[in-house]
Amino acid sequence: MKFSSSEELKPEEVEYFKNKLEEMQRQIYDESGETVEQMKKRNKEFPDPGDRAHLESESITTLRIRDRERKLLKKIQEALQRLEEGEYNVCEECEELIRKERLDARPVTTLCFNCKEKEEQMEKTQHS
């Protein structure tokens, strides 16, 4: 989408981000439903312990991915709430407006580019 030069979100931009977030949400729900169906269908009888271990390892990896997606779902719901309240593109740290291009790249972000950069620098120095 071509964004307006205005820092404020236009109604069509609000609709664009709402649709983008809702589509992300739908994809996660669809994928989690598929995971449940696949896990139900798997035959639990494995005479070979190696095959059994491989299946369990795959299942654990899949469940970790679904857990990350569950956390992302929460962020999506919070972003939709902020969009509804007119605070979607406001940085939670400095309260400046978040650039539309950043929101397009990371629709669930709550920080502007500068604040995110500062946060990452702080994390880097804490882990050094």
Residue 5 clears pLDDT 80, i.e. is over it: yes
100 and 82, same domain (yes or no): no
Of the candidates 70, 60, 82, 80, the residue with the CA atom closest to the CA atom of residue 28? 70
SS3 category, 98: coil
118 and 72, same domain (yes or no): no
Least confident of 2-6, 53-57, 107-111: 53-57
65 and 99, same domain (yes or no): no
Question: Where in the sequence is the domain holding 101, given as residue range(s)?
Answer: 89-128
Output 32 or 44, whichever has higher pLDDT.
32
23 and 81, same domain (yes or no): yes
Q: Give how many domains the chain has, as a whole number.
A: 2
Specify if 23 maps to a domain: yes
Specify if 58 maps to a domain: yes
